[in-house]
Amino acid sequence: MKTIPGVPRDWRAASMCVAAAAVLCAPALRAQDSELADRAKRAGEVLSELTSVPDRSPPKALLRQAVCVAVVPGVVQAGLGIGGRAGFGLVSCRTGTGWSWPAFVGLKGGSFGLQIGAQSADVVLIFVNENAPRTIAGSSFDIGGEVSVAAGPLGRDVSAATDYKAQAEIYSYSKSKGLFAGIKIAGTKWELDYSANKKAYTSAPDSLRGGRRASVAAQLRTTGTAAPPIVQPFLESLQEHVPGGRA
Protein backbone atom coordinates (compact mmCIF):
# COMPACT_ATOMS: atom_id res chain seq x y z
CA MET A 1 0.00 0.00 0.00
CA LYS A 2 1.39 3.37 -1.04
CA THR A 3 2.09 5.65 1.88
CA ILE A 4 1.01 9.29 2.07
CA PRO A 5 3.59 11.58 3.67
CA GLY A 6 2.44 13.08 6.95
CA VAL A 7 -0.57 10.73 7.41
CA PRO A 8 -0.15 8.01 10.06
CA ARG A 9 -0.65 4.45 8.84
CA ASP A 10 -3.40 3.66 11.38
CA TRP A 11 -5.40 6.74 10.27
CA ARG A 12 -5.18 5.59 6.66
CA ALA A 13 -6.41 2.13 7.64
CA ALA A 14 -9.29 3.55 9.62
CA SER A 15 -10.35 5.75 6.68
CA MET A 16 -10.36 2.73 4.38
CA CYS A 17 -12.54 0.79 6.84
CA VAL A 18 -15.06 3.62 7.04
CA ALA A 19 -15.23 3.86 3.25
CA ALA A 20 -15.72 0.10 2.94
CA ALA A 21 -18.48 0.13 5.53
CA ALA A 22 -20.27 2.91 3.66
CA VAL A 23 -20.19 0.87 0.45
CA LEU A 24 -21.50 -2.23 2.21
CA CYS A 25 -24.27 -0.35 4.06
CA ALA A 26 -25.58 1.54 1.04
CA PRO A 27 -27.70 -1.34 -0.37
CA ALA A 28 -29.28 -1.95 3.04
CA LEU A 29 -30.16 1.74 3.43
CA ARG A 30 -31.69 1.82 -0.04
CA ALA A 31 -33.75 -1.27 0.83
CA GLN A 32 -35.04 0.44 3.99
CA ASP A 33 -36.00 3.55 2.02
CA SER A 34 -37.80 1.39 -0.53
CA GLU A 35 -39.69 -0.43 2.22
CA LEU A 36 -40.88 2.85 3.78
CA ALA A 37 -41.82 4.26 0.38
CA ASP A 38 -43.83 1.12 -0.34
CA ARG A 39 -45.55 1.46 3.03
CA ALA A 40 -46.61 5.03 2.29
CA LYS A 41 -47.73 4.16 -1.25
CA ARG A 42 -49.74 1.17 -0.07
CA ALA A 43 -51.35 3.23 2.72
CA GLY A 44 -52.59 5.67 0.11
CA GLU A 45 -53.98 2.82 -1.98
CA VAL A 46 -55.78 1.29 1.02
CA LEU A 47 -57.45 4.62 1.80
CA SER A 48 -58.59 4.86 -1.82
CA GLU A 49 -60.02 1.34 -1.65
CA LEU A 50 -61.92 2.16 1.55
CA THR A 51 -63.67 5.14 -0.03
CA SER A 52 -64.17 3.80 -3.57
CA VAL A 53 -67.51 2.01 -3.08
CA PRO A 54 -70.15 4.50 -1.85
CA ASP A 55 -72.40 1.90 -0.21
CA ARG A 56 -69.44 0.25 1.55
CA SER A 57 -67.37 3.28 2.57
CA PRO A 58 -67.40 5.52 5.65
CA PRO A 59 -70.15 8.17 5.65
CA LYS A 60 -69.01 11.55 4.35
CA ALA A 61 -70.16 13.09 7.63
CA LEU A 62 -67.66 10.91 9.51
CA LEU A 63 -64.85 11.75 7.10
CA ARG A 64 -65.56 15.45 7.56
CA GLN A 65 -65.29 15.01 11.34
CA ALA A 66 -61.96 13.16 11.05
CA VAL A 67 -59.20 14.83 13.05
CA CYS A 68 -56.52 12.24 12.21
CA VAL A 69 -56.44 9.20 9.92
CA ALA A 70 -54.16 6.18 10.29
CA VAL A 71 -53.71 3.45 7.69
CA VAL A 72 -51.89 0.22 8.52
CA PRO A 73 -51.60 -2.07 5.48
CA GLY A 74 -50.91 -5.76 5.73
CA VAL A 75 -51.39 -6.53 9.43
CA VAL A 76 -50.17 -10.11 9.87
CA GLN A 77 -50.24 -12.86 12.46
CA ALA A 78 -47.46 -12.15 14.98
CA GLY A 79 -47.01 -15.67 16.33
CA LEU A 80 -48.57 -19.10 16.19
CA GLY A 81 -51.07 -19.91 18.92
CA ILE A 82 -51.02 -16.53 20.64
CA GLY A 83 -53.55 -14.65 18.53
CA GLY A 84 -51.28 -11.66 18.16
CA ARG A 85 -51.12 -9.35 15.17
CA ALA A 86 -48.52 -6.83 14.06
CA GLY A 87 -48.56 -4.16 11.39
CA PHE A 88 -46.94 -0.86 10.47
CA GLY A 89 -48.39 2.18 8.74
CA LEU A 90 -48.76 5.96 8.85
CA VAL A 91 -50.94 8.58 10.51
CA SER A 92 -51.63 12.20 9.58
CA CYS A 93 -53.74 14.89 11.27
CA ARG A 94 -55.57 17.90 9.94
CA THR A 95 -53.89 21.27 10.18
CA GLY A 96 -55.34 24.66 9.40
CA THR A 97 -54.42 24.26 5.73
CA GLY A 98 -54.50 20.54 4.96
CA TRP A 99 -52.96 17.33 6.30
CA SER A 100 -49.84 17.11 8.45
CA TRP A 101 -46.50 15.42 7.95
CA PRO A 102 -47.30 11.72 8.46
CA ALA A 103 -45.79 9.86 11.40
CA PHE A 104 -44.91 6.19 11.04
CA VAL A 105 -46.76 3.96 13.52
CA GLY A 106 -47.37 0.35 14.49
CA LEU A 107 -50.21 -1.80 15.84
CA LYS A 108 -49.66 -4.87 18.01
CA GLY A 109 -51.98 -7.49 19.48
CA GLY A 110 -55.75 -7.55 19.20
CA SER A 111 -57.94 -8.88 16.43
CA PHE A 112 -58.34 -7.21 13.06
CA GLY A 113 -61.07 -9.28 11.44
CA LEU A 114 -58.85 -11.70 9.56
CA GLN A 115 -61.09 -14.08 7.62
CA ILE A 116 -60.39 -17.79 7.33
CA GLY A 117 -57.56 -18.35 4.87
CA ALA A 118 -56.48 -14.71 4.83
CA GLN A 119 -52.82 -13.95 5.45
CA SER A 120 -53.16 -10.27 6.31
CA ALA A 121 -55.60 -7.42 6.82
CA ASP A 122 -55.59 -3.73 5.91
CA VAL A 123 -56.68 -1.49 8.79
CA VAL A 124 -57.91 2.12 8.75
CA LEU A 125 -58.48 4.16 11.92
CA ILE A 126 -60.42 7.43 11.88
CA PHE A 127 -59.77 9.61 14.93
CA VAL A 128 -62.51 12.14 15.74
CA ASN A 129 -61.43 13.46 19.14
CA GLU A 130 -59.93 16.96 19.07
CA ASN A 131 -57.11 15.75 21.36
CA ALA A 132 -56.11 12.99 18.92
CA PRO A 133 -52.81 14.62 17.83
CA ARG A 134 -51.70 14.90 21.45
CA THR A 135 -52.75 11.30 22.17
CA ILE A 136 -50.92 9.99 19.09
CA ALA A 137 -47.74 11.91 19.95
CA GLY A 138 -47.81 10.40 23.45
CA SER A 139 -45.95 7.37 22.05
CA SER A 140 -48.24 4.45 22.96
CA PHE A 141 -51.74 3.68 24.21
CA ASP A 142 -54.25 0.85 24.30
CA ILE A 143 -57.06 1.13 21.77
CA GLY A 144 -60.32 0.30 23.50
CA GLY A 145 -58.76 0.94 26.90
CA GLU A 146 -57.24 4.39 27.23
CA VAL A 147 -58.91 5.48 23.99
CA SER A 148 -62.45 4.37 23.07
CA VAL A 149 -63.05 2.63 19.75
CA ALA A 150 -66.10 1.56 17.75
CA ALA A 151 -66.68 -0.42 14.57
CA GLY A 152 -66.80 2.11 11.74
CA PRO A 153 -70.19 2.71 10.10
CA LEU A 154 -70.59 2.14 6.37
CA GLY A 155 -72.93 3.59 3.76
CA ARG A 156 -73.70 6.92 2.20
CA ASP A 157 -77.22 7.00 3.64
CA VAL A 158 -76.10 7.30 7.27
CA SER A 159 -77.51 10.52 8.75
CA ALA A 160 -75.30 13.54 8.19
CA ALA A 161 -76.45 14.84 11.57
CA THR A 162 -74.81 12.01 13.51
CA ASP A 163 -72.39 13.29 16.16
CA TYR A 164 -69.66 10.68 15.85
CA LYS A 165 -67.47 12.44 18.40
CA ALA A 166 -70.02 11.70 21.13
CA GLN A 167 -69.90 7.94 20.51
CA ALA A 168 -66.21 7.00 20.27
CA GLU A 169 -62.74 8.49 19.81
CA ILE A 170 -61.71 6.13 17.01
CA TYR A 171 -63.68 4.33 14.30
CA SER A 172 -61.95 1.29 12.84
CA TYR A 173 -62.21 -0.56 9.53
CA SER A 174 -60.57 -3.74 8.30
CA LYS A 175 -60.34 -5.69 5.05
CA SER A 176 -58.78 -9.11 4.66
CA LYS A 177 -60.80 -10.29 1.66
CA GLY A 178 -63.18 -8.42 -0.58
CA LEU A 179 -64.70 -5.23 0.85
CA PHE A 180 -64.00 -3.31 4.04
CA ALA A 181 -66.05 -3.87 7.18
CA GLY A 182 -66.36 -1.94 10.40
CA ILE A 183 -64.38 -3.91 13.01
CA LYS A 184 -63.93 -3.06 16.69
CA ILE A 185 -60.22 -3.64 17.38
CA ALA A 186 -60.25 -3.29 21.17
CA GLY A 187 -57.20 -4.79 22.88
CA THR A 188 -54.77 -3.40 20.32
CA LYS A 189 -51.64 -1.49 21.30
CA TRP A 190 -50.72 1.63 19.33
CA GLU A 191 -47.05 2.58 19.11
CA LEU A 192 -44.99 5.21 17.32
CA ASP A 193 -42.37 3.78 14.95
CA TYR A 194 -39.52 6.12 15.87
CA SER A 195 -36.98 4.14 13.86
CA ALA A 196 -38.99 4.43 10.64
CA ASN A 197 -39.55 8.14 11.25
CA LYS A 198 -35.84 8.82 11.57
CA LYS A 199 -35.05 6.85 8.41
CA ALA A 200 -37.79 8.48 6.34
CA TYR A 201 -37.03 11.99 7.55
CA THR A 202 -33.26 11.85 7.78
CA SER A 203 -32.86 15.05 5.72
CA ALA A 204 -35.57 16.96 7.61
CA PRO A 205 -34.88 19.54 10.33
CA ASP A 206 -34.25 17.88 13.68
CA SER A 207 -37.56 19.18 15.02
CA LEU A 208 -39.45 17.20 12.33
CA ARG A 209 -37.52 13.93 12.21
CA GLY A 210 -40.00 12.11 14.45
CA GLY A 211 -37.41 10.42 16.63
CA ARG A 212 -39.02 11.53 19.90
CA ARG A 213 -42.41 12.60 21.21
CA ALA A 214 -41.92 16.34 20.82
CA SER A 215 -40.77 15.85 17.24
CA VAL A 216 -43.81 13.72 16.37
CA ALA A 217 -46.06 16.37 17.92
CA ALA A 218 -44.38 18.94 15.68
CA GLN A 219 -44.91 16.72 12.63
CA LEU A 220 -48.63 16.48 13.35
CA ARG A 221 -48.90 20.27 13.57
CA THR A 222 -47.01 20.94 10.33
CA THR A 223 -48.82 20.96 6.99
CA GLY A 224 -47.37 18.27 4.75
CA THR A 225 -46.87 20.24 1.54
CA ALA A 226 -43.12 20.37 2.23
CA ALA A 227 -42.86 16.81 3.57
CA PRO A 228 -40.36 14.51 1.80
CA PRO A 229 -41.48 12.78 -1.43
CA ILE A 230 -41.41 9.40 0.30
CA VAL A 231 -44.71 10.16 2.13
CA GLN A 232 -46.46 12.21 -0.56
CA PRO A 233 -48.52 9.29 -1.99
CA PHE A 234 -50.25 8.93 1.39
CA LEU A 235 -50.83 12.69 1.69
CA GLU A 236 -52.21 12.92 -1.84
CA SER A 237 -54.67 10.13 -1.09
CA LEU A 238 -55.82 11.88 2.09
CA GLN A 239 -56.36 15.15 0.23
CA GLU A 240 -58.41 13.38 -2.43
CA HIS A 241 -60.45 10.99 -0.31
CA VAL A 242 -60.87 12.78 3.06
CA PRO A 243 -61.58 16.39 2.11
CA GLY A 244 -63.09 19.18 4.16
CA GLY A 245 -62.98 19.02 7.94
CA ARG A 246 -62.29 21.44 10.74
CA ALA A 247 -60.42 23.93 8.59
pLDDT one-digit tens code per residue, 188-198: 889 999 999 99
Give CA–CA dist 68/129, Å, rounded: 9
- Is the pLDDT at 42 greater than 80? The verdict is yes
Q: What was the pLDDT predicted at 188?
A: 84
Residues 151-180 have a mean pLDDT of: 78
Q: What was the pLDDT predicted at 33?
A: 76
Count how many Cα atoms sit within 13 Å of the Cα of residue 48 in the half-sphere of its side chain. Answer: 12
Q: What was the pLDDT predicted at 170?
A: 94
φ, ψ (nearest 5 deg) of residue 87: -160, 160
Residues 216-232 have a mean pLDDT of: 96
Question: In terms of C-beta density within 10 A (0-12 exposed, 13-18 middle, 19 or more buried), how is residue 45 classed?
Answer: middle
Total residues found in the chain within this entry: 247
Q: What was the pLDDT predicted at 208?
A: 95
Question: Between 87 and 1, where is the model more confident?
Answer: 87
- Is the pLDDT at 19 greater than 80? The verdict is no
Residues 42-57 have a mean pLDDT of: 92
Residues 64-82 have a mean pLDDT of: 79
Query: 5 pLDDT band (50/70/90 cuts)?
Result: low
Rounded to 5°, angle at Cα 136 from 68 and 50: 35
Q: What was the pLDDT predicted at 24?
A: 47
Query: 8 pLDDT band (50/70/90 cuts)?
Result: low
Residues 199-223 have a mean pLDDT of: 95
Residues 166-176 have a mean pLDDT of: 88
Query: 29 pLDDT band (50/70/90 cuts)?
Result: very low
Q: What was the pLDDT predicted at 183?
A: 78
The segment with the largest mean pLDDT, out of 7-11, 49-53, 83-87, 129-133, is 129-133
Q: What was the pLDDT predicted at 161?
A: 57
The segment with the largest mean pLDDT, out of 110-119, 139-148, 235-244, is 235-244
